[in-house]
Structure formats: structure tokens, C-alpha cells
Amino acid sequence: MSQDTSPYQVLAYYFYTRVPDAEEFAIHHLKYCQQLGIVGRIYLAQEGINGTISGTPAQCATYMDDLNSDPRFTGVQFKIDPVNQPAFNRIHVRYKKELVYSGLKTIDPNRRTGKHINGETAQKMMHQKDVVLLDVRSNYETRLGKFKNAITLDMENFREFPDQVKNLESLKDKKVITYCTGGIKCEKASAFLLENGFKDVYQMHNGIIGYANDTGGKDFEGVLYVFDGRVSVPINQVNPTLIAKCLACGTPTSRNLNCANVTCNDQFNMCEACADKMEGCCSNECMQAEGKRTYNGTGFYSKPPVAQAMKGAK
């Protein structure tokens, strides 16, 4: 555990395991988290658990100990970041059919998946001619940051990954290293590649976060998109760069926003000065919209907009 003296921590974790009573367990786990006083988002499915939570070091230590004491979750690994304030406003614990929706219900990471490699091994391999880095995250994440020379996929969410694989046929005889934020998507992505004829598949253990902890983040360009109130975090402590450009003025930026117009809610990159001028909106049209939220200075809104949820359900 980190010895940092920051007053709060963020824990990111996932664990594929059988949880037959996941829907009922989610109800009890929510009550437990509320009593403990932590905040964040936790998803439970019959295939396991996936969470990002925030609390004091004492609260986080208790949570880690208690979760590991459950035989179903023994061995879960937590990625710990010190922060100066909680990264969420409240706690959500929800049951889902899949931890990360992909439609790959027949893929069981506990049965077969890519070979796990740590950050140091990945760093050595990624510069070899027969090795390719494959980013399996969404396009709004890769716009903000990615590994140098990595292959990125223009997909809005992970459920599009199976269709994207048909465009990767030329990589079947290469060594393919898959990576994502913390590792959870790579478990299924690497397994799916193996089932579709890819011969030598690896996954970056604990994802970009694990790589940064092992190596200092060398050759990761830009910043890392995270799914909490921080929105993005610096990863590369060795040779950092910015690759995202402000939608309005084109200057390099590390900022990602959701449009303040509720009925739009698109994600985009914009520098602080332009975001203030545009009131957190992606266009002049959105600035005039009736459903515009008050810009909060970050572009991260903890409660999903109702209008956008209805739009996505159509």
C-alpha cells in the first residue's frame, strides 16, 4: 500500500469469478459501502466484480481486507492512487449482466486469456519489430492518451470490439499486446483474439496503471482517461507529451469534457480558457440549448443526464 500522506485514496479493481447471487449481493454490498462511508461505482455480475471507489486510507484498507476475506474475491488486486479529495460524490453499486458490456458472453477469462506481462516486460517487447500494441479502449479515451505507435480502434464503446477484429487479420502472425486502463477489457479482448486465430497474444497486467507503476510510464503519450471526478491523470513521468487538441483553438490539452448540453453530452477535448468561454459546450448551438447544465469547471457530471439515457435507449 502507498505510504503517501494524502487524506484520500482511489481504489480501482476488477476480478473475474463466479458470483451466482450477484444481483442479491449487490443490494447487500451497497448497504455495506454506505455504512463504511466510501463513495464510487461498483458493478457486480455473475462473472465477477469491477469497481472504482474512493475514501480515506483507513476506509479503503477496511474495504480491501473485507473484500479479500470473501472466498469468492480472495486474490483481487487493487490499484491505489492518493488524492486530495474524494473522486466521487456518492456510492453506486449495481448489478449488470456483464462487467463490461461486450456481447462476448461465451468468453470466460478464467478459462483462457492472453498471457499476462508486467510493465517492464511490455516495455522491452513493444520496441521489437514483430510486436504490436493494441489499444482496446474507446475513441474518447485514446484521443486523450495512448502508447506511442499503438494501434487504436475507432469505437465508441467496447461492444464494438468483436466487429473491429475483422480489420486486424494482418496481425494474426504478430505478437499482440493488448492494453486498457486497468486490465478488465483486455481479459476478454485477448481471449477473443485467441479464439479468432491470433496465435501469440499478451495483455498488459493491470493495464496502463500497472505499466506506469512498473516503469514510470515511459512512451505513453498524453494523459490517462479515468472514470471518476478526476477525469484524467498524468501517467508518463519520463518523457511526457500531450496529444489531445482543444476542439475550439487547437492547442494541446489534457482536458476531456462532457458537453454541458444534456441532450448532446458528447465527449470532447477543450482547454480551460475555451471551456470557460463556451460554458462547457462543444458548439455554439449547444450553448443555446434549453437543456444546458451549469458548467462546473470540469465537464464531469456525476449523475447521468436523463435525456441522454433516453436517447441511448432508442
Q: How confident is the model at residue 242 (pLDDT cuts 50, 70, 90)?
A: very high
Give the per-residue pLDDT at 47: 94
Same domain, 182 and 141: yes
Q: Retrieve residue 210's grid coordinates.
A: 500497472
The whole-angstrom separation of Cα 6 and Cα 284 is 40
Q: Is residue 136 located within the same domain as residue 71? A: no
Whether residues 21 and 64 fall in one domain: yes
The mean pLDDT of 184-202, rounded to a whole number, is 95
Residue 238 falls inside a structural domain: no
- How far is Cα of residue 106 from the mean position of the Cα atoms in its chain? 23
DSSP H stretches of helix in 50-135: 57-69, 119-125
**Model pLDDT, residue 1:** 37
Rounded Cα distance, 7 and 1, in Å: 14
Q: Do 147 and 51 share a domain, yes or no?
A: no
Is 70 domain-assigned?
yes
Task: Please check whether residues 206 and 159 belong to one and the same domain.
Answer: yes
Give the whole-angstrom CA distance, residue 224 versus residue 181.
8
Q: What distances in angstroms separate CA 118 from CA 33, 122, 295, one per listed residue?
A: 31, 6, 40
Same domain, 196 and 258: no
Does residue 242 sit in helix, strand or coil? coil
- Tell me: pLDDT of 303 over 80: no
Asked whether residue 136 falls in the same domain as residue 208, the answer is yes
> What's the pLDDT at 104?
77
Give the pLDDT mean for 185-192.
Answer: 95
What amino acid positions are annotated as catalytic residues?
A: 180
Residue 198 covered by a domain: yes
Q: What is the 3-state secondary structure (H, E, C) of 64-113?
A: HHHHHHCCCCCCCCCEEEEECCCCCCCEEEEECCCCCCCCCCCCCCCCCC
For residue 261, give the DSSP letter: B
132/84 same-domain check: no
Contact between residue 124 and residue 175 where contact means Cβ atoms under 8 Å apart: no
Q: Are residues 50 and 137 in the same domain?
A: no
Lowest-pLDDT choice from 204-213, 262-271, 297-306:
297-306
Q: How many domains does one find in the chain? A: 3
The reply to whether 82 and 142 lie within a common domain is no
- Please compute the mean of the pLDDT values over residues 22-44 and round it to a whole number: 98
206's CB contacts (< 8 A; 6+ apart) are: 77, 79, 182, 183, 213
The last residue of a domain, from among 176, 191, 224: 224
Return the CATH number at 53: 3.30.70.100
Give the domain-ending residue among 95, 125, 146: 95
Contact between 74 and 67 under an 8 Å Cβ cutoff? The reply is no
Rounded-to-integer distance, Cα 96 and Cα 47, Å: 10
Asked whether residue 136 is assigned to any structural domain, the reply reads yes
The answer to whether position 101 is within a domain reads no
Report the amino acid identity of residue 29.
Answer: H
**pLDDT tens by residue, 92-116:** 999 999 998 887 777 888 889 999 9
Q: Is residue 313 very low, low, confident or very high in pLDDT (cuts 50, 70, 90)?
A: very low
In the structure, what pLDDT confidence band is assigned to residue 4 with cuts at 50, 70 and 90? low
Same domain as 141, residue 176? yes
Q: Is residue 102 part of a domain?
A: no
Say whether both 139 and 86 belong to one domain: no
User: pLDDT exceeding 70 applies to what percent of the chain?
Assistant: 95
Distance (Å, whole) CA 204 – CA 302: 29
Quote the DSSP letter at residue 102.
-
Interval 39-65: pLDDT, tens: 999 999 999 999 999 999 999 999 999
**Tens of pLDDT, residues 104-157:** 777 888 889 999 999 999 999 999 999 999 999 999 999 999 999 999 999 999
Contact 36, 59 (CB under 8 A): yes
Q: The C-alpha cell of 213 is what?
A: 507503476
Please state the separation of Cα 231 from the chain's center in Å. 10
- Residue 187 within a domain: yes
Rounded to the nearest angstrom, the gap between the alpha carbon of residue 309 and the centroid of all alpha carbons in its chain is: 20
Grid cell listed for 140: 474518447
Q: What is the pLDDT of residue 305?
A: 55
Answer yes or no: is pLDDT of 163 > 70. Answer: yes
C-alpha cell of 110?
478464467
Cα–Cα distance for residue pair 294/200, rounded to 1 Å: 49
Report the chain's mean pLDDT, rounded to a whole number. Answer: 93
For residue 127, the enclosing domain spans: 115-224
What is the rounded average pLDDT of the residues 68-95? 95
Q: Is 14 a member of any domain?
A: yes
The predicted pLDDT at position 103 comes to: 77
